[in-house]
A and B are shown apart, each in its own frame.
Chain A
Amino acid sequence: MSKPNPMRMREMVVVREVSRILIPFILLFALYVQFHGDFGPGGGFQAGVIFAAGLVLYGLIHGLDALQRAVPPRLIEVLAAGGVMLYGGVGLVTIALGGQFLEYKVLDPHHGEHWGLLLIEGGVGITVTASMTAIFYAFAGRDTVQNQEKR
């Protein structure tokens, strides 16, 4: 059972430096996919996964602790919940404004569809990012718990 030791990964110069260059671009690309969803292929789900991939890469190289310092698990939980609530909240607002659930037209006569989609895709993106990261935390975190028990 040889597990890649997170300490060791950080000491590899190539891995560290390449990831240092790549991670900002991964996160930026995620945002591009998120907002490009308005005009072409893209959207919250894909963007969320890409964003989470950037976070996970950071975690793989610098260790879970470093990632959790940057994005605490509690924040992830709140974000996962918040994204869903943003999505549903838009639906409730449209009902309150006299439309059907998620009928964006009522938000704004001209740009309602645009704003509505932007908001719910934002909600999707946030939740997907948070869920994917939470899955990573769950598995990676459990491993360290086990190792600590062994030590």
Chain B
Amino acid sequence: MEKRVTFKGRWLPLLLVLPQIAITAIFFFYPAGQAIWQSLFIPDPFGLSMRWVGLGNFEFLLSDPYYRASFVTTAVFSILVTLVSMGVALYLAVLADRLIKGSGTYRTLLIWPYAVAPAVAGVLWLFMFNTRVGVVTWYLGLLGYDWNHVLNEGEAMGLVVVASAWGRISYNFLFFLAGLQAIPKSVIEAAAIDGAHFWTRFRTIVFPLLSPTTFFLMVVNIIYAFFETFGVIHTITSGGPQQATTILVYKVYSDGFVGQDLGSSAAQSVILLLIVSVLTVVQFKYIERRVHY
């Protein structure tokens, strides 16, 4: 039995949803429309005139090897960020779930990094790994390892992945912990009596029952890695070295605001928009089916 409030008349309901519609229209539909419109032109660097090029921007982008490479970079980056942040968070949540004493303190400490803004997190990691004065770099040097993410592409990618994942672990941890605590204790006990040791229980009972949480976090984390890691990348590597950490969102910025190619930048935004819509639809349609509720 569903309880629904029904409003009579036409104007009151419209009035009630108006704020939401207004916000969506001003901050989403209008800019998205602008992006689509601008992607069809090449403006001059001073913004005084625009030349119609049709789909020229898109044609150029899709044949551009740097843009194609950025796709691969983005895929590698998002998959790594999602895996690292979710893996570590799940591990910590499993440990915290077993705690009886002091779990409150432990939880609070783990949640703190979430309050750190991505750009600040980026600077934090940058300081630690600074090639000249970084603490970690210095210790690595003592161990005989020459850390230089400014020159080494793999190290640069590793660093932005770790910095992006770090801030995300808290968020994932919270959801995983809630998910773990929602599993009835007696189910775990029944499995223990049935002869399942910790790891078997985790694999056959706990993880399948966590799958709704895991699925939700996967969607949220991929979207996070796509869009909200700009600050981290901007502060640590600025997309370098040799565009090794230029993910799609960063390329929109660097081509548009640094390179002043606003038409291409707009076209890239449109492509991103399409990718995210497709990604979300695919995720919900195909992965959700295999989730046990």
Q: Do A and B bind each other?
A: no
Identify the A interface with B (CB < 8 A). none
Identify the B interface with A (CB < 8 A). none
